[in-house]
Amino acid sequence: MTQSPGQGQALDNLLTESRTFPPSDEFAAQANAQPALYEEAKADREAFWAKQAERLHWDTKWTQVLDWSDAPFAKWFVGGKLNVAYNCVDRHVESGHGDQVAIHWEGEPGDSRAITYGELQREVSKAANALTSLGIGAEDRVAIYMPMIPEAIFAMLACARVGAMHSVVFGGFSAEALRTRIEDSACRLVITTDGQYRRGTPAPLKPAVDEAVAGAPSVEKVIVVKRTDTEVAWMDKDVWWHELVDSQSDQHTPEAFDAEHPLFILYTSGTTGKPKGILHTSGGYLTQASYTQHHVFDLKPDTDVYWCTADIGWVTGHSYIVYGPLSNRVTQVVYEGTPNTPHEGRHWEIVQKYGVSIYYTAPTLIRTFMKWGAEIPAKFDLSSLRVLGSVGEPINPEAWIWYRENVGGGKAPIVDTWWQTETGAIMISPLPGVVSTKPGSAQRPLPGIGAKVVNDEGVEVPHGGGGYLVLDEPWPSMLRGIWGDEERYRETYWSRFAEQGFYFAGDGAKYDDDGDIWLLGRVDDVMNVSGHRISTTEVESALVSHPTVAEAAVVGASDATTGQGIVAFVILRGGAGSDAGGADAIKRLRDHVAKEIGPIAKPRQIMVVPELPKTRSGKIMRRLLRDVAENRAVGDVTTLADSSVMDLISAGLQSGKSED
């Protein structure tokens, strides 16, 4: 089943999946994407992207689709001018859709607002006038540090309207994380709230801003939205949103900016050192965000209700809550809170309330729903759902199947999307209505995108082979560099396969026998067991395919015999039984992995844990699990959503130990 290292295999391809789910004839017939889209893009790639750009309103048309002469810095739609906010708001009002609901906003405590495109235009215009009154304009940077409330979206669009770059910082980050981001991009303005709701309780937010701004001399003003009525310390730079913005005129004329005008900076954590400020520009980014929203989600603006469960602090919230959906005149749900406040069926209650038809979430949340039990979604009417999406990390086949059966009614196609902060928009995904979906596979690059799996020498691996995922053609929404650090940009993304000119995403991947792509997680997480390079993703998938397991995290720990031994941490499903964590049950799990993948992948040790260490975006921090597995002091836990998780895991270290 495995291949020897001598065959040039960058990653062993161990797990197989043969289930496929073709679209219904009815779905295929009405799908936005049709099979000809692939051929059209292949025949003339630049003409294809020009056609997608024409879905937007341009004040001045471009003279050149792509300038790649200064690679790896691209220019798309050279000479074209547009306003991103106009494309997301005003043009829909002008076409007669001012009364259409743009945002059904649901607050965590249960308050709600329905915001039409007409109202959105007025609110964004007032916010843009407020920015102008503070002297904020083109080329300035504005930090946005807010929970998921409508004003956060108004603020982003107002920045786009006046040409200022926004730098959205997730509201769960610390004062120090906020300060470093403000400082790196020299933000002149911060927009925040007095507090935010977390699991039913108001939590302070502004004190972190006060601390961050004290160490960031570039900040001239702080605009504060009143959300929780929490008492806050008031500084000389502070101004209330309702006093500044609400008094402004609701009329504002947007200015057209160059296609390459910077739209936003979004910081992504580096493995070491300071965060990387990923820079995205306007025309190419909006073109690809809009195109992918329309085709990947099969969006019908007159009938669909769309919900992406991300936070605007992450790129998913930028591309698939703000710019992609609104440029397509979507009606969408935006939810402020956590999925289990006040109960574990909150998401399904919201789907039922608004008749959500497209639902886009992360595998980590799907596995959490699995852990809570299928009886919870079964209590709600989810029949409105017709397309499901997955984003953020590879989804294991059993979670995919659970999602389809228990959320999608056994019929909704699932689009498993691969992309990154750096790519700006979806790159690899099945097109619903065109592709027969496979549980766990992102399958193929979208029309217009060039991606492949290569070995260490940059040579494409054969079907059935594993290696590194690379992008071999520039794409419209690609990052235009790391803010203020051209050398780091070249080194991080372009040096690994510099000779071939490939962008290296940092992810391992494999082709199956059909040539479909399977993501295998970060190459940093690959384990080397007795000379075999094994992906943590495949072993985790094998574990979750067992009926008692809801979620698993796997790491390689030093082993005197094999180089690395596989250590697994598992969360059991609700109803798994009281003996599911016992020695016999753990032996069954180890044997199950051996049966699914092969003896080489049998975990040396399995621990049953109540929770896994995750960042606030839901990604598992395997670095901390490696510390536990190798009996080291646990490292920095400040980016964890709940740092107490590591105490629980460390306390139970010996409980699940099991040897042959």
- Residue 616 pLDDT: 67
pLDDT of 653 above 90? no
Average pLDDT over residues 303-322: 96
pLDDT, one tens digit per residue, over 345-379 is: 999 999 999 999 999 999 889 989 998 999 999 99
Share of the chain above pLDDT 70, in %: 92
Binding site annotation covers 409?
A: no
Binding site annotation covers 386?
A: no
Chain mean position to CA 89 = 23
Q: Is 69 within a domain?
A: no
With 0-12 / 13-18 / 19 or more C-beta atoms within 10 angstroms meaning exposed / middle / buried, residue 73 is middle
Distance, CA of 372 to CA of 378 (rounded, Å)? 12
Binding site annotation covers 301?
A: no
Binding site annotation covers 392?
A: yes
What is the secondary structure of 1-66 as a DSSP string?
A: ----GGGT-SB---------BPPPHHHHHH-S--THHHHHHHH-HHHHHHHHHTTS--SB--SEEE
The enclosing domain of 629 has a CATH number of 3.30.300.30
Binding site annotation covers 346?
A: no
Q: Is 141 within a domain?
A: yes
pLDDT of 272 above 50? no
Binding site annotation covers 507?
A: yes
The enclosing domain of 203 has a CATH number of 3.40.50.12780
Q: How many domains does the chain divide into?
A: 2
- Residue 581 pLDDT: 64
**Both structure tokens of 179:** 């300060």
Q: Is 532 within a domain?
A: yes
Binding site annotation covers 535?
A: no
- Residue 13 pLDDT: 59
Q: Is 86 within a domain?
A: yes
Binding site annotation covers 544?
A: yes
First to last CA, the chain: 22
- 16 against 582, higher pLDDT: 582
Binding site annotation covers 190?
A: no
pLDDT, one tens digit per residue, over 608-626 is: 988 888 876 677 888 888 8
pLDDT, one tens digit per residue, over 65-117 is: 999 999 999 999 999 999 999 999 999 999 999 999 999 999 999 999 999 99
| Residue 198 backbone dihedrals phi, psi, to 5 degrees | -130, 115
Q: Is 604 within a domain?
A: yes
Average pLDDT over residues 472-491: 96
| Residue 69 backbone dihedrals phi, psi, to 5 degrees | -70, -20
- Residue 213 pLDDT: 97
Last residue of a domain, one of 255, 280, 305: 280
- The CB density around residue 154, as the number of other CB atoms within 10 Å, is 26
Binding site annotation covers 198?
A: yes
Partners of residue 389 on adjacent β-strands = 360, 415
Give the angle subtended at the CA of 204 by the CAs of 201 and 205, to the nearest 5°: 125
Q: Are 260 and 281 spatial neighbours (Cβ–Cβ below 8 Å)?
A: yes
Last residue of a domain, one of 252, 280, 308: 280
Binding site annotation covers 246?
A: no
DSSP single-letter state for residue 445: B
pLDDT of 9 above 60? no
Average pLDDT over residues 596-614: 86
pLDDT of 1 above 50? no
- Residue 409 pLDDT: 97
The torsion of the CA quartet 309, 311, 315, 316, rounded to 10 degrees, works out to 10
Q: How many residues does the chain have?
A: 660
Binding site annotation covers 421?
A: yes
Binding site annotation covers 199?
A: yes
Binding site annotation covers 622?
A: no
Give the pairing type, strands 466-471 and 451-454: antiparallel
| Residue 508 backbone dihedrals phi, psi, to 5 degrees | -85, 155
pLDDT, one tens digit per residue, over 114-139 is: 999 999 999 999 999 999 999 999 98
Give the angle subtended at the CA of 525 by the CAs of 274 and 276, to the nearest 5°: 20
Distance, CA of 488 to CA of 584 (rounded, Å)? 50
Q: Is 292 within a domain?
A: no
Binding site annotation covers 546?
A: yes
Alpha helices for 134-282 (secondary structure H)? 150-162, 175-185, 206-214, 241-244
Last residue of a domain, one of 280, 306, 326: 280
Give me the sheet containing 466-471, strands edge to edge: 451-454, 466-471, 503-511, 517-522
Q: Is 556 within a domain?
A: yes
Average pLDDT over residues 181-199: 95
Average confidence score pLDDT of the chain: 91
Binding site annotation covers 406?
A: no
Binding site annotation covers 530?
A: yes
Binding site annotation covers 495?
A: no
Binding site annotation covers 397?
A: no
Rg value, the chain, Cα: 24
Q: Is 441 within a domain?
A: no
- Residue 651 pLDDT: 65
- 581 against 632, higher pLDDT: 632
Binding site annotation covers 626?
A: no
- Domain hosting 84: range is 79-280
